[in-house]
Amino acid sequence: MSARVRLGQGLGRYLVYGTGGLALIDETQSRIQGRSNSASASLPFGIVTRPYFTEKTKVTRTGWVLGGGTEIALSNTLSLRGDYTYSYFPDKAFGFTRASRNINRGYTSGGVVVPSAADDPIGRMASNALKLHALKVAVNYRF
């Protein structure tokens, strides 16, 4: 979603314009925590790792948008428009509180209990910048 201004120059039946403004986007990040299928002294991380749970986090990001385009009047009520926009959303951090230390299950070997670290949440942070390019074509009908 964006709130933009459009500034342009009319050339007969054509309008050439630039646009810019504020951009908002809802973003969901997810991660899958794996866990081994079994554990033993000889294979402490098991043989196969399977998904254990999925963790999601959602944020609304704020950025900016710039672009330009052209519109041509095909008649008094019909026009054709094409434009390009570039949206940029700066780095945003996402927290995953249930992320665990590793994937191994607990096991007992020689009377010694080796605890599972797959259920030991230590958390993780991830971040990224988001850049979007969009080409749009529209047909407008004016009443």
CA-to-CA distance for 136 and 47, rounded, in angstroms? 50
DSSP string, 45-57: T-S-EEEEEEEEE
Q: Judge contact between 133 and 84, C-beta under 8 A.
A: yes
The candidate with the shortest Cα–Cα distance to 52, out of 37, 65, 40, 71, is: 37
Query: The tokens 């986007």 sit on which residue?
Result: 25
Q: Look at residue 108 and tell me whether its pLDDT is greater than 90.
A: no
Distance CA 141, CA 58 (A): 37
Is this model's pTM higher than 0.75 or not? no
Q: What angle do CA 94, 33, 130 make, to 5 degrees?
A: 30
Side-chain half-sphere CA neighbours of 101 within 13 A:
10
Mean pLDDT calculated for residue range 19-29? 95
Q: Is residue 101 pLDDT above 90, yes or no?
A: no
Distance of alpha carbon 131 from alpha carbon 63, whole angstroms: 10
What does the pLDDT read at residue 60? 92
Average pLDDT for residues 21-27, to the nearest whole number? 96
Q: Above pLDDT 90, what percent of the chain?
A: 57
pLDDT score of 117 more than 90: no
Residue 11 has pLDDT above 90, yes or no: yes
Query: What is the pLDDT at residue 23?
Result: 97
Each residue of 28-83: pLDDT tens digit?
A: 999 998 888 888 888 888 888 889 899 999 989 999 999 999 999 999 999 999 99
CB-CB neighbours of 113 under 10 Å: 9
Query: pLDDT at position 118, please?
Result: 78
The pLDDT of residue 119 is above 90: no
